[in-house]
Amino acid sequence: MRVVKKFGGSSVATTEKIKNIAMDIAKNYKEGDEVVIVVSAMGKTTDALIKLAKEISDTPDVRELDSLLSTGEQQTTSLLSMALKEQGCKAISLTGAQAGIRTGGVHTKNKIESIKIDRIEKHLKDGKVVIVAGFQGINDNGDVTTLGRGGSDTSAVALAAALKCDCEIYTDVTGIFGVDPRVYKNAKKLEKISYEEMMEMANLGAGVMETRAVEIGKKYGVRIYVGQTLGVETGTYICDSNEIIEKKAVTGISINKNVIMVNLENFSGVPKNVATVFNNLAKHSVNVDMISQNEVQNIKGSIGFTCPLTDDHFLNNSLEDIRKEIPAIEVTKRTGVVKISLVGIGMISNFGVAAKVFEVLADIDAAFYQCTTSEISISLIIKEDEAVKVVERLAEVFSI
């Protein structure tokens, strides 16, 4: 059997953990499996490297930052290769570039464009466990690049797609839950979740999987398993929706605290003004999420949108420019809010989901500021201090 296994930073945080993983991988090796391992940097290594860079410069050169950050994963690959050799396994460590991962885009946020697997195939044929540094690749200029936070997941699934095999993601959780167990103690672990649902949940704030990784899995039909490192419990499969027999109306609830809500009022909502608003937000790299607008012909119209709290600085710069072009505009920013999103592919065929959601809000007297929907999701902006009771009640009603 051929498989790609990915181990996250918490799984390889110490040399003792790396040794334990090596012992487990050795079992696959001795059974004759072809194994490719993708690893993250040890523990908080990436954060420590960023801190070092910031001690040198408030705005480190992004090319050099990529080169620096890539060393974290390279450290793990070498240590794991040594540990495997101690277990009597043939093994070799490869950087992203050596593994043939070609990327494009801007430094610190590159995307995988192609993977040339010849070198990996040769090592597998020679009976070696191949350990690849996740989160990185090389661009057309020959520069080392990184893929952004969660990029090791993307590396693993992309390699599995290129090698035509399944991908196993190992972390410190036992699988994917319908709702964060830290918020709702009776949360149920999912046996399976569709690519579409997982992408929606990841986009809406669930931190279990990187969206791009799931997107690649869907595109190339890579079955993704998420489970606990060296755990005995069965984890969760991210797979095609056809594999899921019973499609629940709501599969999961995601909670995103990284939210600012902005209301723009006292201006005409004609297309020219709306374009001015969103062009300025884009120019300042503000990641706009939920958008709502009232009657466009109203002289004193309004637009509401949300963006990440971490984009606040970019948002402020953008709002300054918007005021210059539309002087009468009135801006209200609201923090202390949370986005709660219900996701389920079963919403396509089940009626009355929205009605139940608003019934719950009415029963517990919880106000909402904004609501948007997609084919398989309903998202609400509510007060942060009401988030737990809303999530608990919704989870009970929808048996999540």
pLDDT of residue 279: 97
> How far from chain centre, in Å, is Cα 233?
23
In a domain, 124, yes or no: yes
The H or E element containing residue 155 is helix 151-163
Measure Cα distances from 399 to 71, 109, 342, 360, 392 in Å.
44, 38, 12, 13, 10
In a domain, 27, yes or no: yes
In a domain, 163, yes or no: yes
Residues 243/224, Cβ–Cβ less than 8 Å = no
Do the bridges between strand 236-239 and strand 224-228 make them parallel or antiparallel, or are there none, so unpaired? antiparallel
In a domain, 330, yes or no: no
Q: Could you count the other beta carbons within 10 Å of the beta carbon of residue 244?
A: 19
Name the residue type at position 270: V
CATH number at residue 26: 3.40.1160.10
E strand residue ranges, the chain:
2-7, 34-39, 91-94, 101-104, 111-115, 129-133, 136-138, 144-146, 166-171, 192-194, 224-228, 236-239, 252-256, 260-267, 291-293, 301-307, 330-334, 337-343, 368-374, 377-383
Residues 159/112, Cβ–Cβ less than 8 Å = no
**The pTM of the whole model exceeds 0.85:** yes
| Phi-psi map region of 350: left, alpha, beta (phi>0 left; psi -120 to 50 alpha) | beta
pLDDT of residue 18: 98
Q: 381 is written with which tokens?
A: 């902006």
> How far from chain centre, in Å, is Cα 391?
21
pLDDT of residue 28: 94
Q: Burial level of 181, CB count in 10 A (0-12/13-18/19+)?
A: middle
Q: 65 is written with which tokens?
A: 């930052």
Residues 181/187, Cβ–Cβ less than 8 Å = yes
- Cα–Cα distance, 53 to 169 (Å, whole number): 29
Which residue, among 96, 53, 54, has the nearest Cα to 73 in the 3D structure?
96
In a domain, 395, yes or no: no
In a domain, 277, yes or no: no
pLDDT of residue 203: 82
* Number of domains forming the structure of the chain: 1
Which residue, among 214, 226, 218, has the nearest Cα to 243 in the 3D structure?
218
In a domain, 93, yes or no: yes
Tally the residues of the chain.
Answer: 400
User: What is the chain's pLDDT, residue by residue, as a tens digit (400 residues)?
Assistant: 999 999 999 999 999 999 999 999 999 999 999 999 999 999 999 999 999 999 999 999 999 999 999 999 999 999 999 999 999 999 999 999 999 999 999 999 899 999 999 999 999 999 999 999 999 999 999 999 999 888 999 999 999 999 999 999 999 889 999 999 989 999 999 999 999 999 999 888 777 788 999 999 999 999 999 999 998 889 999 999 999 887 789 999 999 999 999 999 988 888 899 999 999 999 998 999 999 887 666 567 789 999 999 999 999 999 999 999 999 999 999 999 999 999 999 998 888 999 999 999 999 999 999 999 999 999 999 999 999 999 999 999 999 9
pLDDT of residue 150: 84
In a domain, 385, yes or no: no
Domain that holds residue 123: 2-172
pLDDT of residue 299: 67
Q: What is the largest CA-CA distance in the chain?
A: 76
